[in-house]
Amino acid sequence: MQVPAPFEYERATSVDQAIGLLERLGSSARLVAGGHSLLPMMKLRLANFEYLIDINPLHAELGYVKIQTDEVRIGALTRHRELLESDELAAAFPIFRDAERVIADPVVRNRGTLGGSLCQADPSEDLSAVCTTLDARCVIRGSAGERVVSMEEFHVGPYETAVGDDEILVEVRFPRRGGHGSAYEKVERRAGDWAVVSAGAAVWITEGRIVDARVGLAAVGPNTTGIPEISDTLRGNAPSEALYEQAGAIAARSCDPSTDQRGSADYKRHLADELTRRTLRKAVERARS
Amino acid sequence: MQVTMTVNDVEVTREIEGRLLLVHFLRDVLSLTGTHWGCDTSNCGTCVVWLDGEPVKSCTVLAAMAGGHEVRTVEGLAKGGELDPIQEGFMQCHGLQCGFCTPGMLMTCRALLDKNPDPTDGEIREAISGQICRCTGYATIVRSVRWAAVHEAAVTQ
């Protein structure tokens, strides 16, 4: 039987109260949202905390998708199922529905949250790649107020984020620009598994030319990060198969996959190439339609 | 710590450890052994119960998290001695062989029909994609859910 080591359970009643608890308890405490990454780690005793602060009661406060003209704001406690089912979000950023369809399974998606996924900072996790692709900004709150960081700053390393011991990720913001199309593709061994490799692509097209483009990869190295060289190569050009090929080649050589039971490093590089091309192609199609 | 929740319409209060998982609370504290405990890693789905009407994997939810909420287990499906149509469907269409995955399958499929009364085979397969039938009897499970959907449609007409 897998059971976590003993801990004290605390229930959050507001964001400020949760921050107060974190300040008092320091690194001996951890927030739990959906719990579908943290509790399995605690069951395996890979993670142990003296206090667990349950923030699920804050769902009314931190579970939302707000579509605005210039940006989309998503509360950190928004669950996977809510992200999948939001038609407005799918219209603004089609990449979300692509990704949510292949994250875990429907029952797990009822619990797992956007903020929990990002704070877990697993290099194979799909929503981090989506947020990187869309150049998201993370809003982190502490008792001194809020600070806003980019995904590059947010991801410090595998399982490590910029969120301090006495802080909480409250919101993720996605800038909106015209002529947008985006897509996500994942290769997995079976339904609901971690990715062998995943790729997300986003483009912004004006008058037939790519004004900006971003690609985010998951499961191909210690961090999910964007690849600036791909953006530089695509910007200013008209979309074409030759361009996608170039981008795919850059993705394959820029990533750092390791051989494991999900596949060899060579195979994963091949997937990084192929999935980059596929997602760019689909993103451009969507931007044009 | 003390936890109070509603299980199958009955309010229960018990003294528990914070680390107690919902599946063990249901099985070992309340003796509701209809909910099965399988892989312990949120992969197999035999432990699925409803938390406020949504299917969740109870091996990955703390009992304390369910405090103040409504839980429904497979024991809460039949009403007044009458099987729920989804249970009837599994009987009619041989939706179970060994029966180990059945409680989780029933809870997920009942929730599916509540949201989508006429699901396609593909939608049923998607709904149970996080659950494993170790007898690999998926075809008959899909058929059982369709039986329940058709039966319920006939009753409401």
Question: Of the given ranges (A148-152, A184-188, B63-67, B152-156), which has the lowest mean pLDDT?
Answer: B152-156
Domains, chain A, ordered by start: 8-58 (3.30.43.10), 59-175 (3.30.465.10), 180-288 (3.30.390.50)
Tens digit of each residue's pLDDT (9 = 90 or more) over A250-265: 999 999 999 999 999 9
**What whole-number distance in Å separates Cα of residue B109 and Cα of residue B102?**
10
pLDDT above 90 (res B155): no
Question: Of the given ranges (A41-45, B116-120, B152-156), which has the lowest mean pLDDT?
Answer: B152-156
Instruction: State residue A1's pLDDT score.
Output: 83
Give the closest-approach CA distance of A270 to chain B in angstroms.
27
> Do B117 and B109 touch, CB atoms closer than 8 A?
no
**What whole-number distance in Å separates Cα of residue A9 and Cα of residue A197?**
36
Instruction: State residue A213's pLDDT score.
Output: 97
Instruction: State residue A224's pLDDT score.
Output: 62
Give the closest-approach CA distance of B98 to chain A in angstroms.
22
Confidence band for B156, pLDDT divided at 50, 70 and 90:
confident
Mean pLDDT of chain A: 96
Instruction: Please give the residue that has the higher pLDDT: either B90 or A123.
Output: B90
First-last CA distance in chain A: 52
- The answer to whether B61 contacts A111, with C-beta atoms less than 8 Å apart, is yes
What residues contact residue A172 under an 8 Å CB cut-off, 6+ apart?
A73, A74, A76, A114, A115, A118, A131, A136, A137, A138, A139
- The answer to whether A36 contacts B126, with C-beta atoms less than 8 Å apart, is no
pLDDT above 90 (res A222): no
Compare CB distances from B19 to A4, A36, A110 and report the shortest one's residue.
A4
**What whole-number distance in Å separates Cα of residue A71 and Cα of residue B41?**
37
- The answer to whether B42 contacts A40, with C-beta atoms less than 8 Å apart, is yes
Instruction: State residue B34's pLDDT score.
Output: 98
Tens digit of each residue's pLDDT (9 = 90 or more) over A24-53: 999 999 999 999 999 999 999 999 999 999
Q: What percent of chain B has pLDDT over 70?
A: 99
What ipTM was reported for this prediction?
0.96
Q: What percent of chain A has pLDDT over 70?
A: 99
- The answer to whether A107 contacts B21, with C-beta atoms less than 8 Å apart, is no
**What whole-number distance in Å separates Cα of residue A209 and Cα of residue B37?**
55
Instruction: Please give the residue that has the higher pLDDT: either B148 or A223.
Output: B148
What residues contact residue A61 under an 8 Å CB cut-off, 6+ apart?
A14, A15, A75, A77
Radius of gyration of chain B (CA): 15
**What whole-number distance in Å separates Cα of residue A261 and Cα of residue A188?**
12
Confidence band for A221, pLDDT divided at 50, 70 and 90:
confident
Compare CB distances from B45 to A2, A5, A107 and report the shortest one's residue.
A107
**What whole-number distance in Å separates Cα of residue A152 and Cα of residue A162?**
10
Chain B residues whose C-beta is within 8 A of a chain A C-beta are 1, 17-21, 24, 40-43, 45, 48, 54-57, 60-62, 64-65, 67, 108, 126-127, 129-131
Q: How far, in Å, are A29, A42, A105, B131 from residue B39 at the CA level?
A: 27, 15, 15, 11
Domains, chain B, ordered by start: 2-76 (3.10.20.30), 85-156 (1.10.150.120)
Q: Which of B23, B57, B62, B108 to mutate to test the interface with A (most CBs of A within 10 A)?
A: B62
Instruction: State residue A223's pLDDT score.
Output: 67
**What whole-number distance in Å separates Cα of residue A257 and Cα of residue A218?**
10
Residues of A whose CB is below 8 A from B20: 3
CA A140 to chain centre: 15
Residues of A whose CB is below 8 A from B127: 106
Residues of B whose CB is below 8 A from A43: 40-41
- The answer to whether A105 contacts B48, with C-beta atoms less than 8 Å apart, is no
Q: Which of A105, A120, A190 to mutate to test the interface with B (most CBs of B within 10 A)?
A: A105
Tens digit of each residue's pLDDT (9 = 90 or more) over A94-136: 999 999 999 999 999 999 999 999 999 998 999 999 999 999 9
Give the closest-approach CA distance of B115 to chain A in angstroms.
13
Phi and psi at residue A67, to the nearest 5°: -95, 115
Mean pLDDT of chain B: 97
